[in-house]
Structure 1
């Protein structure tokens, strides 16, 4: 019998104990919601939070944090790929910081590392002018004219950067603040909203100082799982005062 055969045999022996633990009073019912889909109730065992440092994933540069919880979830939990949140019975919202594992590919539980970061993130509300679509008839003359534009309000998470390579890529000068952004909130991240273009501008106040935010460039992640969980990334430039 090989090492792997022994490991699989031990895992199969552990299966009923894990299933019983998920049904026991030590477990709790959590809500797992994939973005854009209804929540699913599953049983979960949450380990003790590990807190070796106060560092946590940031909205502009998500990553793996040492402040995490190891969770054991029922196999019905929709966590095979990133793009979901887990809400505990106390109302705490957790997000994955590692890809979920199916021990031995036996399909009786998911093991995933989670972190609570929703309450640490500032979300900005941005309003962009959106051109009208098609033509309308001008009242009184019945002449065709472009449809009037509208405004679109979207959520985004923004973090300032002083990286000279990033600043150079957007052509920022000393009066500009360069921001790395992600579309949506951590509870509802997404892609660039339809109607928002590169060069679109939105009013934005920073620390009470009014200014204008200009969306400049896409800034895609190399890790598709990060983008799927935290939303598409972009670069923007903020300048105090009104539009140029």
Structure 2
């Protein structure tokens, strides 16, 4: 399923990105949806925020009554208002007939800014710049707490400067693609043209380049997510690991739905 991660550190849980399937994914991990309190969206592409509204709404119907803060690009406010308008009949019914709290009053949408630092309970979040043209509000994320550091690259072209941002992290979660898998993926998708291939090449990172960033940053472990391709049996985990072997000899995790990484 598309991009979504759950970081649990220092007693605080944060959902990073809300692609399709995030609600089911959280439930499958045993996460109590009514305990949702913090979400960070790295950028406004559908595979990262399509299910933001449905996640919050489902948490609300499951018992959410405490505030939820959502950080991300400025356009999130427009998305959230649109979602509330689209669900106005349902919201009015549940508030009036079921005694639910006002969902709109529970949710606060907050802007992220490159270089900005946010306190999320005991966690410190620093936002960095990812390179994902033509978008400009695209963020890498560095979380610190309980003596641990976890960095998410966000969607990005190869970005050597990310090595400084991720320096010394316990875990770097970095997007990755396999060059040999791109042409078969484009043919299988079938409704894009050369512009889709051009987007992949200018806006995403080859696996070996992600490994180069991890090496330069001196991270303790590397996890690859947002895999391109992600569901082609010809390019399974063994192929990804073989591709990375010449470039990375540290701890490696190849993203799969439901993967748990313990720090």
Structure number with greater Rg is 1
TM-score (norm 2): 0.22
Structure that is richer in helix per residue: 2
